[in-house]
Amino acid sequence: MTINIGMTAVRGARPIRNKEVYDFHSNIVKDLTNNTSLEHYADVWKEWLKFSNNKSINGLNAFKNADYTQGTSQTFDHFILKHSKDRQIIVLEGDFQYHACLGKHIDFKYIPYPHHLEEHLDGLGLHALLISAPFSDFGCIHPDFEHIMKVCDVHDVPVCLDLAYWGIAKNIHIDLDKFPAIKEVTCSLSKPFFTLENHRVGIRFTKDYVDDGISMLNEVEMQNKFSMALGVEYMRHFSPDYNWKKYLQPYEKLCLDQDLVFSDSVIFALGDAERHDEFNRGIEGNFRVCISQYLSDC
């Protein structure tokens, strides 16, 4: 059967409806307890992030503070709240559109040409950057990522690194020790695992202690411990390579059949202006298509 993605493609980023994951969820919620500690939760996260054959992250041990978050969005909220008082919040054009929603209420700027980032900076210590890896609009690491991190270091621009796509990604290799501008790292399980998008299973790692609402709620043990426990069980059961191992062949076949360009994120491919113009997210000539619904089995 031929699927006409050009006619039925959807906007956004949805996990693949996977029967194996769905059944796992249905079984585990029957017996799950709420006794997961923050320390245990953070340890499992660190192990899971590094337990991969197709991507790597080094230097996470320098981020000694860890907090449960409601997905990655809660981290973004507090990063913006912290820095918007005396810095302009900057985001690369095409990145997670949630940032623009908050940007309506603060000093906010999209950067259209990141390889000329310095031209957009007004001086030392006046900006703060959020950036995703893989990059949201490309489904792969931003080609200017290392250059951007070096510029941020020189210009005292604190960076929040968004790893929300880690569980659907490959070919991403990040050494945090090389990029001192990165002050916060956040990740969640919403994109890799169907059923968890509604449980908001997130983590924030910071180099320095951050005295904000996230840390306060964690310190008084007001985290969503049900979601934490769910996340621990999922990370124990499914590696961060699981999606590419399961869907590599159908992903490639679908892209070839539909004349789509491969990405490094298994739920995304890149289309063209003729069929997918409505999916342009700001970057000229780039049309990210979410294909998870065509890989689903339930």
Structure confidence at residue 1 (pLDDT)? 47
Structure confidence at residue 24 (pLDDT)? 85
| Architecture field, domain 32-237 | 3-Layer(aba) Sandwich (3.40)
Two structure tokens written together for 268: 């995304």
Strands 127-132 vs 88-92: parallel, antiparallel or unpaired: parallel
Two structure tokens written together for 19: 């029967």
**Shortest CA distance to 197 belongs to which of 25, 5, 8?**
25
Phi-psi region of 16 (alpha: psi -120 to 50; beta: other; left: phi over 0): beta
Structure confidence at residue 269 (pLDDT)? 98
Structure confidence at residue 29 (pLDDT)? 66
Contact 259, 276 (CB under 8 A): no
Q: Is the dihedral of CA 183, 96, 56, 21 positive or negative?
A: positive
Contact 269, 255 (CB under 8 A): yes
Structure confidence at residue 124 (pLDDT)? 77
Contact 212, 65 (CB under 8 A): no
Structure confidence at residue 31 (pLDDT)? 65
User: What are the residue boundaries of the structural domains of the chain, listed by start?
Assistant: 12-20+240-295, 32-237
Structure confidence at residue 113 (pLDDT)? 84
pTM of the predicted model as reported, rounded to 2 decimal places = 0.90
Q: pLDDT per position in the chain (298 positions), as tens?
A: 455 655 566 677 888 999 998 888 777 766 665 567 999 999 999 999 999 999 999 999 999 999 999 999 999 999 999 999 999 999 999 999 999 999 999 999 999 988 888 888 877 779 999 999 999 999 999 999 999 999 999 999 999 999 999 999 999 999 999 999 999 999 999 999 999 999 999 999 999 999 999 999 999 999 998 899 999 999 999 999 999 999 999 999 999 999 999 999 999 999 999 999 999 999 999 999 999 999 999 9
